[in-house]
Amino acid sequence: MRDRPLTVQSDRTMLLDVHSPDADRCRSDIIAFADLVKSPEHVHTYQISQLSLWNAISSGLDADEILSRLRTWSRFDIDSRVEFFIRDQAERYGDFILTELDDDYLLLTVRRPVFALQLKAEPQLKALLEAESEFSFRVLRMNRGVLKARMIKLGFPVDDRIPLRKGEPLEIKLRNTFSPRPYQTDAVSALLGDGKNGSGYGTIVLPCGSGKTVAGILAMSRLNTRTLILCPNVTAVHQWIRELLDKTELTENEVGEYSGERKDMKPVTVCTYQIITWRPDTDSDYPRFSLFRDGGWGFIIYDEVHMLPAPVFRITAELQAIHRLGLTATLVREDGREDEVFSLVGPKRYDTPWSELEAQGFIAKAYCHEIRLPLPEDLEIKYAIAKKREKYRIAAENPLKIEAAKRIIKAHEGDSILIIGQYLEQLEEFRSRFGYPIITGSTPARRRDELYALFREGKEKVLIVSKVANSAIDLPDASVAIQISGTFGSRQEEAQRLGRILRPKAKDSHFYTLVTEYTEEEDFAQNRQKFLSEQGYSYSIEKAEQYEG
């Protein structure tokens, strides 16, 4: 056995010994073709998959280079099945090549006869493909993204060789007072590269609190073009605008807000997914899709790309000629649609372990606690006869959580605290009992911004928030989160909620989850707990005694 940091297993998982002096060099070599699965204290797990290999090949790597890197770092010889898989997937990526034909059509060329026959027989592709020759097909230019999305579902990745077009130019200078962090610069370099091999589109994965917005701004300053930024909510829109005006020399006349409140189209426009996907009724088309098509954009940023709604996927499919960037803390989607992000927005270009940034002080050190509470006796029969979904809600709304939260708040007196929940009636009950301000989906955007500002200034120490605060909310001083209910076992939501307290600060952060023991809620909590543990977070489970009244 060689003293090297990596163990490559026959199931294509890879175990990285983070205590090895060569761990960082090894990680930087393998992240280009493997996905980080979990990163607890001592050994990080990576997975080589079809999608991760297609990521790598589309970025310019080949099978020989991937295998060379594995042999450099692996303690043991590489299993022949692993080598076969890598070479096979690398070859498959070049089987379908998309190039330009004329003003209206693109050309899909198929390298192997058997695959040409498969495409002709595939029902999902018949409406998109028109035979040009025995091994090539005409594709309407507007169907470029739809074709790529459908083919990747079938295991046929398309090598899209059509160059990106330039948008209208716009000078975007960074302020001299602003210094990006090294990993933010590395992420943008991984996205834009040298302008070859499809560089200029893809996804950057960075933990909540680590400055994904800054990475987007850095990319804008490199591309210097009109930019459209899509966000999950109006609060995120306002945050992007504040950051743009703070960190660049763009003026208020150059940065516009397109939301339910304002409709300002500027050279840099920040809007919500909701405003883009609005339509008068379910049978109508989406009238605001023209914002995408007619803006002269050279760059589109999808904030929280894992949340992309289906209609936005649809219009994104038409915008394959534009530089595009997805930003997210996790590409985990509970619906399994990560491959659509790959094919339409772009492959993952950069990822880094949460624990690494925590160790370097770029995000706060956080401790995760699960508090298990009993189900009150008067709810036991109601719970026993309820259907599965109703069981979860009964457990999630356990009234004993109010007293438990009270004890936690007392233990963290003086800290900035978020109480986060799923059910509005439960949140209103907490507001009634405690008197703290509440933010839900029905809270007007202006009032939300006022409350967030008061919280940031320390004038409000506790906020009660619904799932509207799951993502893209910058509350740098928040150091305690109390999760009273959640969306079943959503790992994505867990990452987002933890992210609310990860902005770097002088004190450590604490993330509490209140769970009703021996119920459906406990089962779902285990999935969320596993996700946090795999990110390297300390996770303790405590019985309810010290939290009961």
Q: How far apart are CA 172 and CA 224, in angstroms?
A: 5
Residues 235, 238, 241, CA angle at the centre, nearest 5°? 150
The one-letter amino acid code at 251 reads T
Sheet bearing 96-100, strands edge to edge: 130-133, 136-140, 105-110, 96-100, 159-160
Q: Would the pLDDT of 282 be above 60?
A: yes
**43-57, 188-202, 208-222, 503-517: range with lowest mean pLDDT:** 188-202
Q: Which two tokens stand for residue 89?
A: 């997937």
Q: What is the predicted pLDDT for the residue at 86?
A: 95
pLDDT tens-digit map of 119-135: 888 988 988 999 899 89
Give the H or E element holding residue 462: strand 462-465
- Average pLDDT score over residue span 28-39: 85
Nearest Cα to Cα of residue 458 among 443, 483, 477: 477
Mind giving me the DSSP string for 360-374? TTSS--EEEEEEEEP
Q: What is the predicted pLDDT for the residue at 377?
A: 92
- Average pLDDT score over residue span 326-337: 68
Q: What is the predicted pLDDT for the residue at 196?
A: 42
The one-letter amino acid code at 462 reads V
Q: Which two tokens stand for residue 444?
A: 């007007």
Q: What is the predicted pLDDT for the residue at 74?
A: 95
The radius of gyration of the chain's CA atoms, rounded to the nearest angstrom, is 25
Top-confidence residue, 339 or 479:
479
Mind giving me the DSSP string for 32-99? TTSEEEE--SSEEEEE--HHHHHHHHHTT--HHHHHHHHHHHBSSPPPHHHHHHHHHHHHHHTTEEEE
pLDDT band at 548 (very low <50, low <70, confident <90, very high): low
Q: Would the pLDDT of 547 be above 60?
A: no
Residue 276 and residue 292 in contact, taking contact as beta carbons nearer than 8 Å: yes
**127-136, 220-229, 426-435: range with lowest mean pLDDT:** 127-136
How many residues belong to the chain?
549
* pTM of the predicted model as reported, rounded to 2 decimal places: 0.77
Q: What percentage of the chain carries pLDDT values higher than 70?
A: 89
- Average pLDDT score over residue span 181-192: 91
Q: What percentage of the chain carries pLDDT values higher than 90?
A: 38
Residue 37 and residue 11 in contact, taking contact as beta carbons nearer than 8 Å: no
Q: What is the predicted pLDDT for the residue at 255?
A: 96
Domains and CATH numbers, the chain: 6-92 (no CATH), 96-156 (no CATH), 182-352 (3.40.50.300), 359-547 (3.40.50.300)
pLDDT band at 21 (very low <50, low <70, confident <90, very high): very high
**60-69, 139-148, 382-391, 400-409: range with lowest mean pLDDT:** 139-148
Q: How far apart are CA 228 and CA 303, in angstroms?
A: 11
Nearest Cα to Cα of residue 105 among 148, 152, 139: 139
- Other Cβ atoms within 10 Å of 348 Cβ, number: 25
Q: Would the pLDDT of 444 be above 60?
A: yes
Name the DSSP letter for residue 337. Answer: -
pLDDT tens-digit map of 88-130: 988 888 889 999 898 889 999 998 888 888 888 898 898 899 9
Nearest Cα to Cα of residue 485 among 373, 328, 354: 373
Task: Spell out the residues 6+ positions from residue 361 whose beta carbon is closer than 8 angstroms to its own.
Answer: 504
The chain-wide mean pLDDT, for the chain, equals 85
- Other Cβ atoms within 10 Å of 11 Cβ, number: 11
